[in-house]
Amino acid sequence: MADKIITRFPPSPTGAFQVGNARTALFNYLFAKQNSGSIILRFEDTDKARSTKESETDFFEGLEWLGLTLDGVYRQSERGLIYRRYIEKMIAEGSAYISDEIPKETAAVDKNRTENDEDEEGEWHDPLTGKKEIVRFKNPKKLVTFKDEVRGEISVDTTELGDFIIAKGMEEPLYHLAVIIDDFEMGVTHIIRGEDGIYNTPRQILLQEAIGAPRPAYCHAPFILGQDRKKLSKRHGTGAVKELREKGYLAEALVNYLSLLGWNPGTEEEIFTLEELVKSFSFSGLQRAPAVFDIEKLNWFNREHLKRLPEETFMKLVKKWLPKEIQTLPEWSEERLKRLLPELRERATVLKDLRDAGAAGEFDYFFSSPIPDISTLIPKDTTRGEVIKHLSKTEEFLSAIPEENFTKESIKEAVWAYAGEKGRGKVLWPMRYALSAKMKSPDPFIIAYVLGKTETLKRISAARELLSSGT
């Protein structure tokens, strides 16, 4: 009987939730769910100086938004007593010892280290380091061989590591120690992380062996890089999950795209829901080389997922993203908005496009009568008299359509033959412009349908009268 599969997502809350984090969380989630297991969220906040609550919040919100529900939350900062137990035991058993070495005197150095720059080179030293009980690991200095699900067998000689430091105090373990104690205590069976974890693995294995913990399975996924082939960061402008959310990307789209960065399902399918990914995910589809994040492809995924949204869901999003001002326009109505939905869905890449276009007045004419410009109403090579005639003909055709059958198709059908005969530009341009007063817009049939029969006729006749009496 196999043990329950348990994976974990262990971010250090020292910065924003990045897409790289998101993908790691996603893979852990997929693998756990696929095997009816669970996934733990563990904040690795043992570095008190750099950990922040804001960062934690960003991770929580991002994870929730993506729909990755985790099965438990831990903070290493709250587990001091647990670590003490292990550290004391290791010392008692002789696998660790207190080093009386004097701390490095580094307080004055690196003071001008750049803020907020995670890629900064060079060592960082804790200026506050005082006299503490530095605990070192008694390194057995041997060759450690482990299996990585992506790269196969990896062997590393741990001699060079020396008696590395594992704790700054009895309740202050360093990363490696805290990790293996937590993974052991939490029953973690599979460790899926970024490829930077590869070289952490041997020393963690040494530590596991020292405390008698079983060895979990390891899987190291390649990194996600920016267009410059450097690790994705704020510098690229696309790294933060929160930013993508604020631009109106769909969580489904991001999840889908991220899943395909560094992994492939072995088929030519590309559109997946989270549930489908849970079914399809496998370590064997993981790549070995890093992948470059391409916002254009994400855009495509977003459009695809936008198309697939149920109407009610899309309607809610539209109401949320459309500027409030539009919703106070004189002719605003939900029915009209509902008829407009297909058009909005087709034109938007991200939801923010709706907000921007709305703020730019692109949709105003759907909810308030526009004032057309007389000369623009008249196409080239057309006389004012002709336009008046076409407009009144159009009115006549549309009037004949029963209210309940006033659809894009019937509207087009009603005027199409006449427009073909007289010249489409000469008939359709005035019609479209009379309805929208915009140089660019969807076609006149769609606008008329959205406006409804009454309003459409009203606007066309208004334009006609404007021409007849115009200056």
Q: Least distance to RNA from the beta carbon of 235, Å?
A: 13
* Interaction between residue 287 and RNA (CB under 7 A): yes
What DSSP state is assigned to residue 351? H
* Interaction between residue 132 and RNA (CB under 7 A): yes
Give the footprint of RNA on residues 376-395 (CB under 7 A): none
Size of the site for RNA (CB under 7 A): 74
What DSSP state is assigned to residue 285? G
Single out the segment in contact with RNA by CB under 7 A; choices: 55-63, 85-93, 240-248, 287-295.
287-295
Single out the segment in contact with RNA by CB under 7 A; choices: 20-28, 275-283, 324-332, 421-429.
421-429
Give the footprint of RNA on residues 148-207 (CB under 7 A): 151, 154, 160, 164-165, 168, 174-176, 195-196, 198-200
> What is the three-class DSSP state of 289?
coil
Residue of the chain from 34, 35, 129, 282 that contacts RNA (CB under 7 A) = 129
Q: Least distance to RNA from the beta carbon of 422, Å?
A: 12
Q: Least distance to RNA from the beta carbon of 270, Å?
A: 5
216 vs 222, beta carbon nearer RNA = 222
Q: Quickly list DSSP for 54-102.
A: HHHHHHHHHHHHHT---S-EEEGGG-HHHHHHHHHHHHHHTSEEEE-PP
Q: Quickly list DSSP for 229-278.
A: SSB--GGGS--BHHHHHHTT--HHHHHHHHHTSSB--SSS-----HHHHH
Residue of the chain from 16, 39, 134, 241 that contacts RNA (CB under 7 A) = 134
* Interaction between residue 101 and RNA (CB under 7 A): yes
Residue whose pair of structure tokens reads 């919100």 in the numeric block: 61
189 vs 436, beta carbon nearer RNA = 436
Give the footprint of RNA on residues 247-266 (CB under 7 A): 260-264, 266
Query: Is the separation of the CB atoms in 189 and 37 below 8 Å?
Result: yes
Torsion of CA 76, 80, 83, 85, to 10 degrees: -150
> What ranges make up the beta strands (E) of 174-243?
190-194, 217-221, 224-225
- What angle do helix axes 311-321 and 351-359 make, rounded to 10 degrees? 50
Query: Is the separation of the CB atoms in 203 and 158 below 8 Å?
Result: yes
101 vs 115, beta carbon nearer RNA = 101
Residue whose pair of structure tokens reads 């008694």 in the numeric block: 138
Residue of the chain from 339, 408, 432, 453 that contacts RNA (CB under 7 A) = 432
What DSSP state is assigned to residue 329? S
C-alpha 226/C-alpha 214 separation (Å) is: 37
Single out the segment in contact with RNA by CB under 7 A; choices: 44-52, 56-64, 275-283, 449-457.
44-52
* Interaction between residue 289 and RNA (CB under 7 A): yes
45 vs 395, beta carbon nearer RNA = 45
Q: Least distance to RNA from the beta carbon of 134, Å?
A: 5
Query: Is the separation of the CB atoms in 27 and 192 below 8 Å?
Result: yes
| Helix, strand, coil abundance in the chain, percent, nearest 5 | 50, 15, 35
Q: Least distance to RNA from the beta carbon of 16, Å?
A: 14
DSSP-assigned beta bridge partners for residue 147? 153
What mask, x for binding RNA by CB under 7 A, covers residues 292 to 321?
A: x-x-xx-xx---------------------
Residue of the chain from 3, 108, 115, 268 that contacts RNA (CB under 7 A) = 268
Single out the segment in contact with RNA by CB under 7 A; choices: 20-28, 137-145, 331-339, 437-445.
437-445
Single out the segment in contact with RNA by CB under 7 A; choices: 139-147, 248-256, 431-439, 450-458.
431-439
Single out the segment in contact with RNA by CB under 7 A; choices: 86-94, 289-297, 367-375, 386-394.
289-297
Q: Least distance to RNA from the beta carbon of 36, Å?
A: 27
* Interaction between residue 230 and RNA (CB under 7 A): yes
73-75, strands of its sheet edge to edge: 6-9, 38-43, 73-75
* Interaction between residue 12 and RNA (CB under 7 A): yes
5 vs 232, beta carbon nearer RNA = 232
> Cα separations (Å) of 149 from 213, 291, 414?
20, 18, 64
Give the footprint of RNA on residues 318-357 (CB under 7 A): 346-347
Backbone torsions φ then ψ of 40, nearest 5 degrees: -105, 140
Task: Please give the structure tokens belonging to residue 141.
Answer: 């200095």
* Interaction between residue 124 and RNA (CB under 7 A): yes
